[in-house]
Structure 1
Amino acid sequence: MASTRGKFETRSPENEKTKKYDRQLRLWGDHGQSFLENARVCLINATATGTEILKGLVLPGIGAFTIVDGNNVTGEDVGRNFFLLKHSIGSNRGSAACQQLLELNPHVRGDYIDESCETLLATNPSYFTTFSVVIATGMPESTVLQLSKLLHVANVPLLLCKSFGQIGYIRLQTPEHTIIESHPDDGFDDLRLTDPFPGLRKHVDSIDLESLSRAEHAHVPYIVILLKALDRWREKHGPTSLPTYSEKKDFESIIESLKFKHHEGDDTPHVEPLNFEEAIKARARTLRKTEIPDNVKKLFEDKECENLNPKSKPFWIMVRALRDFVAVNGTLPLRGSIPDMTSDSDSYVRLAGVYKTEADKHCEDICNRVNEILTALGKPLDIVCEPEIHILCRNSHTLDVLRTRPIFEEYERPKSNLITDSLRNNYQPEEPEIVYYVLLRAVDKFFESFKRYPGCLTHLMETDISKLKSIYSKLVQEWGIGPFPKDDLIHEMCRFGASELHTIASVVGGCAAQEVIKVVTHQYVPINNTFIFNGILCTSTTFDL
């Protein structure tokens, strides 16, 4: 069967584009926006959930999208999908949704294919492997398994999404997703006070607190104060000693002793200097040993880092260079930035320059090592650009990799894989999110058996309840995860009748779009791997299944 293909495209000035994306650039930067604008996303089926996902990608400026949908618009579609209009009834659903979505952002390219996913998988399966991410909605289990196997081998991320009544479901499959900028909530300042590098040591030693005036004392950066206080502490307790929590009062008294000494006849009004208060407050978070985080150690031990070859990804080449740097220097590269603090501009700029100079040296060493590795592998040097290495060095403490379990393994071999233990650990009948996961699986089994969802035919409601209960019972017995849930949850799934409520679709669509952005920008940490939204209680849970 030949496919019908259409395309829409509009343009607008570059300066308007910069203004439009100003807020999101603050979240993921120019490089993140560049990744987003170079990404190509495929949406399978323009359901209400699917179009809401694309809305969340079109607005921030995804590069291009394609909708694969062989269905025509029905009156039911118009009633639950804001991107389908009454006059579109009878036309291809992908075409109608594509045209409306592109009205949201003239910088985005979009097209559609008037063909079902099943047909494309049979005639041209490699088509799906050309995208950055594939998003699947409104698909039966058998098609999901085919697509999951295909994309797992091709290392293309797959996002499976569903809105079923008041329940939302998102499942991410990504064989290997590398994360450079995770943006942790508990970030720390990389100041290296416990083991100062030569440039910092020289800078701090050049500042004589006793020779400074009261005004100059009040503008000494707290980093200098803390390091001088630590020097005095170590003179008494040993060259590697650090104050413990129980000794914090003793250390604070040393900080206090460094303050400007009031001289007889000095009539200058006494004002408590803020920089010394900052030093006391920063003691706990800055005076700690410089260590290699466990997540980074795991990367160093990863087989992809150990066994580099000409097919290795740039990420693993940079991680190997980072490991070699740590082997020589004992620490990760310096971030090269310092926090805001009370100080005069000149003192702050000079101190910031000390950190930046050292960080640039570290980055240069790693750049050289990356080039050596690329040369040894016979790969061109330009496949890893210097800005990428700078970003990796700044975020070396939070590097990570996510490898999710394939969907087809979860569905086809639950007994012999981790899903059984994971479900046993998470399954509590009084916790509805995990129960709804099993119910959604039972609903898919129902569709495979009867080619319709339970509750779609109201005159068969009681029969469907009995059938769904039997399917659910068979699943929980097969997985060994009982006990059986309350009957009202079974009844609720049938009452939903596979309806796609726009409020639920919009929540699921927003969450799913967020996950796609994480995947294509390699920033922030995606879900691992199953997300359930309970619209009845307005709660959500993530499960690693």
Structure 2
Amino acid sequence: MEGKDNTNVDKNNKYDRQLRLWGDHGQAALEIARVCLINATATGTEILKNLILPGIGSFTVVDGHKVLGEDAGNNFFLTKDSIGKSRAKVATDLLAELNEDVNGDFLEEDAEKLLDSNPDFFSQFSIVVATNLCERAISKLSNHLWSKNVPLLVCRCYGFIGYMRLLIKEHTVVESHPDNTHEDLRLDRPFPALVQYCDSLHLETMNSKDHSHTPWLVILFKYLQEWKKQHNGEVPKDYKERNLLKEMLKKGMHRNEEGILENEENFEEAIRSINTALVPSKSSAFWIMARALKDFVENEGEGSLPVRGTIPDMTADSERYIQLQQVYRKKAGEDATKVSQRVQKLLQSIGKVGLISEHEIKTFCRNAAFVRVVRCRSLVEEYDSKSIKLQELIPHLDDEEQDDAVFYVLLRAVDRFYEEYNAYPGWYNDQVETDVSKLKACLTKLLQDWGLSLKIKDDYIHEICRSGAAELHTVSAFIGGVAAQEIIKVITRQFVPFNNTYIYNAMKQTSITLEL
């Protein structure tokens, strides 16, 4: 038992920073995840590196290639001595050295052939990552994984261009960790315990010390009640009315014998917080817990989501701050219990009692205002010339200063080029100029199929041919970091992954996300 405790302590120290980001439950999800990488390219190994270091459960590399000189030149995890050896084995051996907690395996086989002979092999993974596959192979793989509800992330580095495409039918996020959130204070619709606590404090009879140490939330509540008495029970609705409430607060600040305002930070905090604290509480919903939440909102919640149970930091003495904090925590616990009762009834009705833990329900209630659902489109839809979202592309291509979305179009043309010539444009130095003409023809045909009469600048076409499909390690390293970040979002179900296409332009160090 002692050894086990020491192991837990070591893990807490080892993964301390990331535990602060996604918590014990996020780390637990990561540690049981199984990731499959197709092709140990420079991009592929960089992605795995950034998953192995934080401690994914296991990874499997599927790659039928031998290490070439160009691999040793651009891949940090392959060396000159490994040329001619199995790329899957060499990469797996070196990657596994990064973290002894992670299990690594490899399969020296072509992914497309494996998909034909044993497609269910790929169904066992938490997520599949495919790098540098041709369009035919990606289509076949994505169709299979889509039918099995296994997430797929397609990654590609092509010269100075990075590309990612996330394929996931439906991804629900409870802990979305929004960057900017309003506190859930319910000042517009105060619950009884909050009213009772605020009414127990009397600003008008307090001495200066107590007056200046009363939490701003209590101060704002009291002045808001005065405002509502004068305005038919309504809270301030616009900028002008909120400024009038601020003036009321300023008049309530204590003055010394000379009539000079005393230093009352709590009143100043209340004034600064008016705009954000008076945001009305709103509802949203989501599946078994979402259904229970919906029923709660329509009944006990009286139109509002469960109280979150947190308050911001504010100037106050510890005793009153903790008392106020407990008011919100108690109310949050009561709301979560009511939602939980509804969840259990729903589970009983469908014969799945015990499927959802109390901790999950409390987490759901705490984050109810921020839950998100990401639904990506399939590649079948995207690759169908009749259903591609041209309205998403056209604004980026019509402009004289065509932005990074143009590289999506060019990469699709590159795939057509490969399908026709079994090589990428610019692969052979002595054919670059010839390939420019061929790529233009592929691009013209692609745009015609989409019903677009657009002109892509020659500079872009020459750049694609000049790169010759080469992977640059700097671009691969960048995409490796971004891709690993998105994979961790999917695995932990925390934070919101992109939807659904990401393009990175290393020449300008810019990027764009498109929903295609």
TM-score normalised by L of structure 2: 0.95
CA contact (8 A) 1:334 1:358 kept: yes
Residue type of the partner of 1:193?
L
Aligned equivalent of 2:368: 396
Task: Classify the secondary structure of the residue corresponding to 1:135.
Answer: strand
Aligned equivalent of 1:283: 274
Aligned pairs for 1:187-266 within 5 A: 187-242=181-236, 244-260=238-254, 262=256
Aligned equivalent of 1:372: 345
Aligned pairs for 1:276-425 within 5 A: 276-292=267-283, 296=284, 299=285, 316-328=287-299, 329=301, 330-381=303-354, 383-411=355-383, 413-415=384-386, 417-425=387-395
Distance 1:69 1:152 in 2: 21
Distance 1:332 1:141 in 2: 45
Instruction: Measure how far apart 1:388 and its partner are.
Output: 1.0
Aligned equivalent of 1:22: 16
CA contact (8 A) 2:425 2:465 kept: yes
Cα 1:331–1:463, aligned 2, differ >3 Å: closer, same or farther?
same
In the alignment of these two chains, the number of paired residues is 508
Instruction: Measure how far apart 1:14 and its partner are.
Output: 3.4
Instruction: Measure how far apart 1:414 and its partner are.
Output: 2.1
CA contact (8 A) 1:133 1:156 kept: yes
Distance 2:291 2:123 in 1: 28
CA contact (8 A) 2:65 2:87 kept: yes
CA contact (8 A) 2:255 2:261 kept: no
Kindly report the root-mean-square deviation, in angstroms, between the aligned alpha carbons of the 2 structures: 1.7
Task: Classify the secondary structure of the residue corresponding to 2:389.
Answer: helix
Structure 2: runs of 5 or more not aligned: 1-5
Aligned equivalent of 1:303: none
Residue type of the partner of 1:475?
L
Distance 2:447 2:155 in 1: 23
Distance 1:498 1:28 in 2: 37
Question: Which sits farther off after the overlay, 108-117 or 425-434?
Answer: 425-434
Structure 1 segments, 4+ long, off by >6 Å, are: none
Aligned equivalent of 1:114: 108
* 1:521 is aligned to 2:488: no
Aligned pairs for 1:2-81 within 5 A: 13-81=7-75
Instruction: Measure how far apart 1:421 and its partner are.
Output: 2.9
Task: Classify the secondary structure of the residue corresponding to 1:532.
Answer: strand
1:169-201 Cα deviation digits (max 9, x unpaired): 000010001011112122110000111000000
Structure 1: runs of 5 or more not aligned: 1-11, 301-315
CA contact (8 A) 1:414 1:420 kept: no
Distance 2:403 2:254 in 1: 62
* 1:508 is aligned to 2:482: no
Distance 2:441 2:114 in 1: 34
CA contact (8 A) 2:174 2:494 kept: yes
CA contact (8 A) 2:256 2:262 kept: no
Distance 1:355 1:14 in 2: 33
Residue type of the partner of 1:331?
S
- Give the % identical residues: 48
Task: Classify the secondary structure of the residue corresponding to 1:43.
Answer: strand
Distance 2:376 2:311 in 1: 36
Instruction: Measure how far apart 1:270 and its partner are.
Output: 6.7
Instruction: Measure how far apart 1:243 and its partner are.
Output: 5.3
Aligned pairs for 1:480-495 within 5 A: 480-495=451-466
Residue type of the partner of 1:337?
T
* 1:479 is aligned to 2:473: no
* 1:430 is aligned to 2:419: no
Task: Classify the secondary structure of the residue corresponding to 1:281.
Answer: helix
Aligned equivalent of 1:171: 165
CA contact (8 A) 1:49 1:506 kept: yes
Distance 2:486 2:160 in 1: 21
TM-score normalised by L of structure 1: 0.90
Distance 1:85 1:249 in 2: 67
Distance 2:373 2:452 in 1: 30
Residue type of the partner of 2:327?
V
Residue type of the partner of 1:278?
E
Aligned equivalent of 2:3: none
Instruction: Measure how far apart 1:125 and its partner are.
Output: 0.3
Question: Which sits farther off after the overlay, 155-164 or 444-453?
Answer: 444-453
Residue type of the partner of 1:284?
N
Residue type of the partner of 1:183?
H
CA contact (8 A) 2:396 2:403 kept: no
Task: Classify the secondary structure of the residue corresponding to 1:62.
Answer: coil
